[in-house]
Amino acid sequence: MAVTIKDIAKKAGVSYSTVSRALNDQNADKSDKKKRILRIAKEMGYVPNQAAINLKMSRSYVIGLYFSTISKMTSPFVLHDVLTGVYSVVGSRYNVVVKGIDMHEPGTLNPTYYDGIIVLSQRNEDLAFMEEVMDKNIPMVVICRTVFLDVPNVTTDESRAVEKAMDYLLENGHKNIGVIEGDPRLDSTRLRHRGWRAAAEAHGLDPERIPVEYGNYRFTSGYQAARKLLEQELTAILCFNDEMAFGAREAIVELGLKVPDDISLIGFDNWDMSGYASMKLTTVERNMGDIAIEGTRILLRRLEDGIIDNRRVYLENKLIIRETVKKLN
């Protein structure tokens, strides 16, 4: 079996990207680390795939846009905003191919097909796909999730964002608050969970006493979760995205209650309908378009100018205050 970059990285105790640069960047300085990697590669009998290298020299002008999943966990509003953001940067220079990582067959990634790949990652399981991208030497940017790989990373501080949202409810006198979270397998859910709990503790509340229901970031799941929460005496519901918040509003209205007179409501994302529907939703703005734009710019600087920028970039989340939170004190 042919020796791969992954094999060399494991033996050298370094990252895949470190090995890739040592093997492929002829202009890199002759550091001790690089010399050691080259020695290990030689001892292991590593042979570069020259055919792939030669083919890669001719550009495909195709960028892969990979989501953790398209059908199960990705809101259509997120997909739209990200794709629009990517195309606003690449214009007609590149074709964009949209795929789901959950549908990817390991080992089938063709390094000649993509000039670069943008990954919108939400799950730990995505790491295997990212490692395959790195092993195939395809330039990559990861957005919407912090990953500890030597690649560019564009995201936001979702914990702090939801902490602000919960703070706002508590500062307005709400103590009986329910929370509609997303799929617990997703990083976004875990980060947002951490945020509201931090706010509750800071205000002297026991997070374990706050009722929580789970959805899947879709309208119907927000409706169903709210129906369960409203069996208790609540004055507010914090939702992990706007789509579930609009589903929760449907449940509230069905029970003959009003937003915000009877139940206050906060969402997350600030997607288009949040400001223009009949409910002027208070929400956290996480501009997925801006995240995608910044990630695409970083990728194109790599592809067109040879600039490798492996920084972790955090964009700001803002609390957008509208009309769905009633002040109780």
Query: Rounded to two decimals, what is the model's pTM?
Result: 0.70
156-284 architecture in CATH? 3-Layer(aba) Sandwich (3.40)
Please state, rounded to an integer, the average pLDDT across all residues of the chain: 89
How far is it, in rounded angstroms, from Cα 326 to Cα 85?
Answer: 34
CATH 3.40.50.2300 domain locations along the chain: 60-154+286-315, 156-284
Mean pLDDT, rounded, for 124-141: 93
pLDDT of residue 308: 85
Asked if the model's pLDDT at residue 220 lies above 80, the reply is yes
Domain 60-154+286-315 annotated CATH 3.40.50.300: no
DSSP, collapsed to helix, strand or coil, labels residue 230 as: coil
Instruction: Name, in order, each residue with C-beta under 8 angstroms of 304's C-beta and a sequence gap of 6 or more.
Output: none
Nearest CA-CA partner of 268 in 320, 197, 326, 219: 320
How buried is residue 238: exposed, middle or buried, by Cβ count under 10 Å (0-12/13-18/19+)?
buried
Ordered DSSP codes for 140-181: EEEESS---SSS-EEEE-HHHHHHHHHHHHHHTT--SEEEEE
How far is it, in rounded angstroms, from Cα 165 to Cα 216?
Answer: 20
Asked if the model's pLDDT at residue 57 lies above 60, the reply is no
Mean pLDDT, rounded, for 157-175: 96
Rg (CA), the chain: 23
Strand locations in 202-288 (E) = 212-214, 236-239, 264-269, 282-285
pLDDT of residue 30: 65
How far is it, in rounded angstroms, from Cα 91 to Cα 113?
Answer: 19
Buried b (16+ CB within 10 A) or exposed e, 76-105: ebbbebbbebbbebbeeebeeeeeebbeee
DSSP 317: P
Asked if the model's pLDDT at residue 52 lies above 60, the reply is no
Q: For residue 76, what pLDDT band results from cuts at 50, 70 and 90? A: confident
Q: What is the CATH number of domain 3-47?
A: 1.10.260.40
Top pLDDT among 177 and 48 is at: 177
Q: For residue 26, what pLDDT band results from cuts at 50, 70 and 90? A: low
Asked if the model's pLDDT at residue 105 lies above 70, the reply is yes
pLDDT of residue 188: 87
CATH 1.10.260.40 domain locations along the chain: 3-47
How far is it, in rounded angstroms, from Cα 301 to Cα 293?
Answer: 12
Give tens-digit pLDDT for 228-281. Answer: 999 999 999 999 999 999 999 999 999 999 999 999 999 998 876 665 567 899
Q: Are 204 and 143 contacting, i.e. CB atoms less than 8 angstroms apart?
A: no
% pLDDT > 70, the chain: 91
